[in-house]
Each structure stands twice: as structure tokens, then as C-alpha cells.
Amino acid sequence: MAQKEKGVVENGLIIGIVVLAIVVIFAVGLPRWHKHAVNGSVSLPATLSGGFTRNAQADQQIAASVSSAKRTLGAGTDMALYLGAPSSQGQQEIIVEATRLPGQALLEAGMTYDRVGNSNCASETSSQGAEAICIRTNNDLTVQVTAADTTTASKYADEVYDDIDHKVF
């Protein structure tokens, strides 16, 4: 009988150690994984739907700013200027910024605010033209797109957000 009780105690001890190891793995590993997910890299695509292409010259000009933002924020950050195909109305531009941090409020005097798709947008029309800024965010990713109108800005905020959010680290 003593031998049987000893086996039960040993099995219970082994099970306890395994459970404790699992708890330690989650207690130590999960926060590290979450930190990696939150502070992971962000890489914007080379192209967007509709024929928009990332401008390499602009990338070179803003490389120091993007690098500085990554160091200062301690999070993955990227910014790009996308150019559409030239047309009789000129060349359409879209600016995309993404960072692995929660979003901030977008408040600026003179802007009109709307919810467009999954994004919060602000727009303004002046004698120089129209501009819209749309932000889509969650707890660990913010994508901000500036375009000529809220429909375009929201469309590309969703496209880039979904592209980045589905990447595995």
C-alpha cells in the first residue's frame, strides 16, 4: 500500500511541476510575445490597389525621420508616399503612416469629422483644394492615410491596416 501511495504522490508532484512550468511559460512568454507584437516591425507595401506605387525618392528623403520616429517611439513605424498614374487631372498622391502604437485623437480646427468605413476621418476644403485624413486603429496598430477625399483615405487606411494586421511576426 505504501508503494502505491508513493507512486500517487510522485505522479501528483510531476503533474504539479508540469502545470507550474506551463504557468511560468505563459507568465514569462506571453508578455514578451505581446511586447513583440506591439513593438514589432511595420512595413508598408510597395503598391496599393488602383495603381498606386510607393515613391522611392520620397522614401530616401524621409528615411531619417522614419528612423528617428522608430527610435523615439520604441515601436515599428513606416511612412510612404504613393503616386497614382498621371492623368489629365494631375497625379493623385496618397500618404500612408503606420505605427505599432494605439491611435491618437485627430482634432484640428476647421476640419469636418466623419466615420467612413472602419476609419475616423477629418476633411477640409480650401482654395488650395481638398484634403482628408483617415485613421484606423486598435490597441497595437495605427494607420493614418492622407488623400484628396475621405472615401479614398478610408479605403487605403483599411487596405493597409488589413495587410499589416494579418502579417505574422
pTM: 0.68
pLDDT tens figures, 110-151: 788 888 988 888 888 888 888 999 999 888 889 999 999 999
Contact, 120 vs 135, CB < 8 A? yes
Q: Which of 117, 119, 112, 84 is nearest to 98 (CA)?
A: 119
Per-chain mean pLDDT for the chain: 76
Q: What is the mean pLDDT of residues 60-82?
A: 85
Query: What residue type is 32 in one-letter code?
Result: R
C-alpha cell of 156? 487605403
CA distances from 169 to 54, 65, 102, 124 (A): 23, 24, 18, 37
CA atoms within 13 A on the CB side of 3: 0
